[in-house]
Structure formats: structure tokens, C-alpha cells
């Protein structure tokens, strides 16, 4: 599995899954959440409202993930996850790690091969970007090594099917933090 970090706009990524740093309501917000909702079009909000009416009447809990179609995005799917909010006292690193691993598990269930993540909780939720980068990269690597087939040929397919994890980052400082974490 290849892991990379790029500077860019997550809404334009040609991947199977983009991960949305959502709030628990799933009804849109600012930052990455607002950008994904705007780019995906009104179908995304309708799908999120349907989830709230059926499976998630109390909202999506921190560290969990759920999928909707990608609608007008290049990605086929949006996997929504709610990161912990440092400012609200949500400082459990395990909950942040869970955002990445739960999203990967949902992507596997969708038969995805490629997935793009933002820097979950590093924006308005106030987590230190270097810590988010370290935890995100560590979570993806640990998840991959725990589910990959033990085969000598590195070109062999992985048991989970994920071939590419791309961290799509909005600014140079965030890209630098993820680049350092990947080194």
C-alpha cells in the first residue's frame, strides 16, 4: 500500500473515497466539511439527512465512520468521520486514530482501492498539526500491517484491497507536518 501526502483540494481528487472531516450532525459545516458538501451537491445533504432519520438519529459519534455516495464529486464515495474537538476537551488520541482506521474499514466494505484523507481535527477542532500527522500516518501504517497478506512479493494485492492512501492537505505547513511524519 502506498501512502503519500500532497497539497491540494480534496474535492477534486480522483479516488474511490474521500474522507469528510464531518461534525456529528452530518449536515455540513465549515472547512473540509463545507467544501465537500458544496462540491458534492445537494444529493449529499439529502443522503446525510436520510442517515440521520434512520441509522444515526443522534448523529455520528466521534471516531466512527459512515459512507454516502459521492454525488457530484470525482470520488464514488464520501466516508464521513467525526474527529475529536480539542477545544471541547476531546483529547483522546485513540479517538483520533479511530477516525482513520474506521474510515479505512468502511472503504474496504465499499471495495475501494484508493482513499483521500484530510488532516482530521487539525483545523477548527484545534489539534496540533504535527500530532495529527504523526497519529494519522501511524494509524494507517499500523492498520495496513495488521491486515496485509504476509507475502514476499510487494506487488501482490493486499487482503484489504486498499492500494493508495493519500493525505490531501490544504496548506504548506500541514503538508510539511505530514511529509515529516511519512519520512
Least confident of 94-108, 116-130, 147-161: 147-161
> What mean pLDDT, rounded, does the chain reach?
93
Catalytic residue, candidates 9, 14, 16, 33: 33
**pLDDT at residue 159 in the model:** 56
DSSP state of 158: P
CA-to-CA distance for 25 and 33, rounded, in angstroms? 11
Give me the CATH number covering residue 130. Answer: 3.40.220.10
What's the total number of domains in the chain? 1
- The model's pTM is 0.92
Nearest to 178 by CA among 114, 126, 140, 134: 134
CA-to-CA distance for 116 and 159, rounded, in angstroms? 19
Domain carrying residue 161 = 2-182
Q: Is 92 a catalytic residue?
A: no
Amino acid at each position: 500500500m502506498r501512502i503519500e501526502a500532497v497539497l491540494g483540494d480534496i474535492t477534486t481528487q480522483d479516488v474511490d473515497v474521500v474522507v469528510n472531516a464531518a461534525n456529528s450532525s452530518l449536515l455540513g459545516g465549515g472547512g473540509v466539511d463545507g467544501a465537500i458538501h458544496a462540491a458534492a451537491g445537494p444529493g449529499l445533504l439529502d443522503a446525510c439527512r436520510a442517515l440521520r432519520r434512520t441509522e444515526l438519529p443522534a448523529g455520528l459519534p466521534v471516531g466512527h465512520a459512515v459512507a454516502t455516495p459521492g454525488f457530484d464529486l470525482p470520488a464514488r464515495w464520501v466516508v464521513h468521520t467525526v474527529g475529536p474537538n480539542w477545544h471541547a476537551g476531546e483529547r483522546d488520541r485513540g479517538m483520533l486514530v479511530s477516525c482513520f482506521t474506521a474510515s479505512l474499514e468502511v472503504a474496504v466494505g465499499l471495495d475501494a482501492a484508493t482513499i483521500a484523507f484530510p488532516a482530521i481535527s487539525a483545523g477548527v477542532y484545534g489539534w496540533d498539526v504535527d500530532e495529527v500527522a504523526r497519529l494519522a500516518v501511524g494509524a494507517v501504517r499500523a492498520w495496513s500491517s495488521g491486515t496485509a497478506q504476509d507475502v514476499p512479493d510487494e506487488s501482490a494485492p493486499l487482503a484489504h484491497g486498499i492500494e493508495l492512501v493519500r493525505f490531501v492537505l490544504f496548506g504548506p505547513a500541514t503538508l510539511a507536518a505530514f511529509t515529516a511524519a511519512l519520512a
